[in-house]
Amino acid sequence: MTTVGSRRAVVVGTGLIGGSIGMGLRKAGWFVSAVDTCPGVQQLAVECGAADRSGFDDEADLGVVATPLGQVPGVAQHLLARLGPNATVTDVAGVKGPVLEAVTAPNFVGGHPMAGSEQEGLDGADPDMFQGATWVLTPTQVTDPAAFVRTSEVAASLGAEVVALEPEHHDALVAVVSHVPHLVAATMMSEASQASEQHAALLRLAAGGFRDMTRVAAGHPGIWPDICAQNRSAIVSSLDSLVAALLRVRHVVDSGRTDQLEQMLSRARAARRNLPGQAPPPERLAELRVIVPDRPGVFAQLTTLAGELGVNLFDMEVAHSAEGPQGVVILVVSGDQAPVLRQAISGLGMRRSLRRLG
Amino acid sequence: MTTVGSRRAVVVGTGLIGGSIGMGLRKAGWFVSAVDTCPGVQQLAVECGAADRSGFDDEADLGVVATPLGQVPGVAQHLLARLGPNATVTDVAGVKGPVLEAVTAPNFVGGHPMAGSEQEGLDGADPDMFQGATWVLTPTQVTDPAAFVRTSEVAASLGAEVVALEPEHHDALVAVVSHVPHLVAATMMSEASQASEQHAALLRLAAGGFRDMTRVAAGHPGIWPDICAQNRSAIVSSLDSLVAALLRVRHVVDSGRTDQLEQMLSRARAARRNLPGQAPPPERLAELRVIVPDRPGVFAQLTTLAGELGVNLFDMEVAHSAEGPQGVVILVVSGDQAPVLRQAISGLGMRRSLRRLG
């Protein structure tokens, strides 16, 4: 793995995620500066170990935007202008399409670490928050592969596994596994709470299952209006699907079709038990070398192809080829997942070779 | 607290809940016999500490029916006939209306411990499963107060807190906090799983929130067709309310009314944070003595009145009065909750006195 520049980072927005990234980067040997619109919080970030110093660092070669979603494009542009083209700037916003539409610098890499907690602010920050988590990166046609590789290394150094997805694809998927579940949890909690005004015993009956299901509703609500506004169509469409599915379940229950009900529940159970675990390190890695035409977007095409297949990127490298207007992309993936990715890449008509590592 | 008879129990059905009750009763000093339709499981119950011996115990003065819901009435009748009128028989089924309609013996007390896990069978059994849990009892017009008190003591000796509710009221409330949440979890898991067939990355993005929300869907599906059949109308009605609420949320998201969204999420958050905790022992208890007319159903009326107000019963006693055709019911409740219960009882026109304990 290549070294990560000067290892000076500036984190803008030191809440739960920004604070955790600051702590994690410091643990990994980085010198971290913290900026927050609230000067008190900026100072607190230093006091609680999320940064080495408060204030901007013009020497940083990594900028992390961890502000509320609505401020991300503006702050990212500011960082890009101030840190210059050799620095890499990334963000952690939960919706990526609008951000990547607004910020088109080659050295900006959209990111979304799929971790968090119902706690909030620096109080909940934890350097190990991203251990075993999936960290989505959203390269586009214009993304500089070197900036992508650097951001991947940062995510990996915090313990996360990188999955590359197109911004719009990311947004559609998180609507299903994050945004809509959050709205459902809040809605169920509201419904139960309203019913409990007439039935005081109701919440006494809320056992572990209900507590598990509504836990995310205890998180800070402030981020959700922005998320819902920016990912509106995917959320509405996913909510529509869920409501249609619930109405089918309602029909099955109402008509007493218990055989159908048990089938549905058995499928759900099998799926829940097969949820990918928290990233056990693969026993064997494989290195896939791909000769790629030297044109914009090929790197994003390759990495997001891997992401769409559910293939994590453990390491990657980009080299220019001695053979003229082409390059070599080296992707390190799990040995188990390599064949499916190799086949898909063949389908694109690119030359590739596979080598097992270790 | 009065002693609990001979402390010999027979548990019929030694799955997750029956096994846990057997273990808990043994830990509390009971001699436990285990019966299961599967002879191998019955023997296994002894081997793994859920029972002292396998087979029926005609000397038991407590019978616990922990079979699948559909078999509860038949097994309960069998136990009542075989153990006689001096024994107390209780069950743990998740729907109470149909059970209490079918089983009307005064010494049968319907019960539902609100605990469990996504594990199944004896493998998941745990003597401490009920520590801090709510254990609903559903007395009716015909319930013998002595049998109710005995069952309460059993629940309390396993670490649970007793809440008394009318059977139909229990069923309506668990539809909201247990049955519908379970169906929603399974539906969300199914939807995500189906979407993942086209989008392999989807389940890689399933972070802690989604995992929490779908955990219950990993449980054994076998119990749900019975539950849905027996509690059909309450489940359908609660599903309808939830779908209507989700459609309101969809409308708010679609119309970009972010102010309404944040209000809704803030209310849900406050409600989630105010969920009653896992039963901290109240600092002070209070004893409420009520002079009651000596007619059937008064005891059920008093205890379920407490339950409807969300008042836990820590201990209780029933005595006949020296003053003629009336009795005394003594309810021990949390000092904080006593005034509201006292007031409600006054509303019934009964004489009562309140004494703080400890």
pLDDT band at A1 (very low <50, low <70, confident <90, very high): very low
pLDDT above 90 (res A227): yes
Q: Residue A2 has what pLDDT?
A: 42
Average pLDDT over residues B304-319: 85
pLDDT band at A47 (very low <50, low <70, confident <90, very high): very high
Q: Residue A323 has what pLDDT?
A: 57
A262 and B222: CB-CB below 8 Å? yes
The tens digit of pLDDT for each residue in B49-84 reads: 999 999 999 999 999 999 999 999 999 999 999 999
The answer to whether the beta carbons of residues B172 and B200 sit under 8 Å apart is no
Q: Where in chain A is the domain with CATH 1.10.3660.10?
A: 170-244
The tens digit of pLDDT for each residue in A285-336 reads: 888 888 888 777 888 899 999 988 888 888 888 876 655 667 888 888 888 8
**For residue A225, what is the nearest residue in chain B, using CA coordinates?**
B258
What does the alpha-carbon distance between residue B73 and residue B61 come to, in Å, rounded to a whole number? 19
pLDDT band at B319 (very low <50, low <70, confident <90, very high): confident
Question: ipTM of the assembly?
Answer: 0.82
The tens digit of pLDDT for each residue in B84-93 reads: 999 999 999 9
Q: Find chain A residues with C-beta within 8 A of B262's C-beta.
A: 221-222, 224-225
Q: Residue A322 has what pLDDT?
A: 59
The answer to whether the beta carbons of residues B166 and B146 sit under 8 Å apart is no
DSSP collapsed to 3 states, chain B: CCCCCCCEEEEECCCHHHHHHHHHHHHCCCEEEEECCCHHHHHHHHHCCCCCEECCCCCCCEEEECCCHHHHHHHHHHHHHHHCCCCEEEECCCCCHHHHHHCCCCCEEEEEECCCCCCCCHHHCCCCCCCCCEEEEECCCCCCHHHHHHHHHHHHHCCCEEEECCHHHHHHHHHHHHHHHHHHHHHHHHHHHHHHHHCCCHHHHCCHHHHHHHHHHHCCHHHHHHHHHHCHHHHHHHHHHHHHHHHHHHHHHHCCCHHHHHHHHHHHHHHHHCCCCCCCCCCCEEEEEEEEECCCCHHHHHHHHHHHCCCCECEEEEEECCCCCEEEEEEEEECCCHHHHHHHHHHCCCEEEEEECC
The tens digit of pLDDT for each residue in A125-174 reads: 999 999 888 999 999 999 999 999 999 999 999 999 899 999 999 999 99
The tens digit of pLDDT for each residue in B110-123 reads: 999 998 776 778 98
Average pLDDT, chain B: 89
Backbone angles phi, psi at B261, to 5 degrees: -65, -45
Q: Residue B323 has what pLDDT?
A: 57
Q: Find chain B residues with C-beta within 8 A of A201's C-beta.
A: 163, 165, 169, 173, 307-310
A116 and B177: CB-CB below 8 Å? no
Q: With CA atoms as reference, report the closest residue to A303 among A136, A139, A100.
A: A139
B184 and A187: CB-CB below 8 Å? no
Is the domain spanning B170-272 CATH 3.40.50.12280? The answer is: no
The tens digit of pLDDT for each residue in B120-148 reads: 789 889 999 998 889 999 999 999 999 99
User: Looking at the domain B285-356, which fold is it?
Assistant: Alpha-Beta Plaits (3.30.70)
pLDDT above 60 (res A282): no
Q: Residue A4 has what pLDDT?
A: 47
List the structure tokens of B324. Answer: 């003629």
The beta-carbon neighbor of A269 closest among B177, B204, B217 is B217
The beta-carbon neighbor of B272 closest among A218, A240, A265 is A218
Q: In which residue are the tokens 């694109």 written?
A: A348
Architecture of domain A170-244: Orthogonal Bundle (1.10)
Angle at CA A225, nearest 5°, toward A219 and A227? 85
pLDDT above 80 (res A358): no
What does the alpha-carbon distance between residue B263 and residue B257 come to, in Å, rounded to a whole number? 10
Task: For an interface test with A, give the residue of B205, B220, B223, B232 to mutate (most A CBs within 10 A).
Answer: B205
Q: Find chain B residues with C-beta within 8 A of A114's C-beta.
A: 205-207
* 3 state DSSP class of A274: coil
What does the alpha-carbon distance between residue B210 and residue A185 come to, in Å, rounded to a whole number? 10
* 3 state DSSP class of A212: helix
Residue B314 C-alpha, separation from nearest chain A C-alpha, in angstroms:
14
**Of residues B109 and B323, which shows the higher confidence score?**
B109
List the structure tokens of B6. Answer: 């001979």
Average pLDDT, chain A: 89
Q: Using alpha carbons only, how large is chain B's radius of gyration in Å?
A: 22
Q: Where in chain B is the domain with CATH 3.40.50.720?
A: 8-165
Give whole-number Cα distances, A215 to A61, A81, A189, B197, in Å: 37, 40, 9, 28
Pairing of strands B53-54, A108-113: unpaired
* 3 state DSSP class of A268: helix
Backbone angles phi, psi at A63, to 5 degrees: -115, 130
Residue A139 C-alpha, separation from nearest chain B C-alpha, in angstroms:
15
**Of residues A119 and A345, which shows the higher confidence score?**
A345
pLDDT above 70 (res A277): no
Q: Residue B2 has what pLDDT?
A: 42
pTM of the model: 0.83
The count of C-alpha atoms lying within 13 angstroms of the C-alpha of B95, restricted to the half-sphere facing its C-beta, is: 26
pLDDT above 50 (res A75): yes
Residue B57 C-alpha, separation from nearest chain A C-alpha, in angstroms:
32
A217 and B269: CB-CB below 8 Å? yes
CB pairs under 8 A between A and B: 321
Give whole-number Cα distances, B179 to A327, B30, B69, B79, B215, in Å: 57, 32, 14, 28, 14
Q: Residue B277 has what pLDDT?
A: 62
pLDDT band at A275 (very low <50, low <70, confident <90, very high): confident
What does the alpha-carbon distance between residue A238 and residue A223 come to, in Å, rounded to a whole number? 19
Cα-Cα end-to-end distance for chain A? 15
Percent of chain B whose predicted confidence (pLDDT) is above 70: 94
pLDDT above 90 (res B200): no
Q: Residue B223 has what pLDDT?
A: 86
pLDDT band at B281 (very low <50, low <70, confident <90, very high): low
Architecture of domain B8-165: 3-Layer(aba) Sandwich (3.40)
What does the alpha-carbon distance between residue B272 and residue A95 come to, in Å, rounded to a whole number? 25
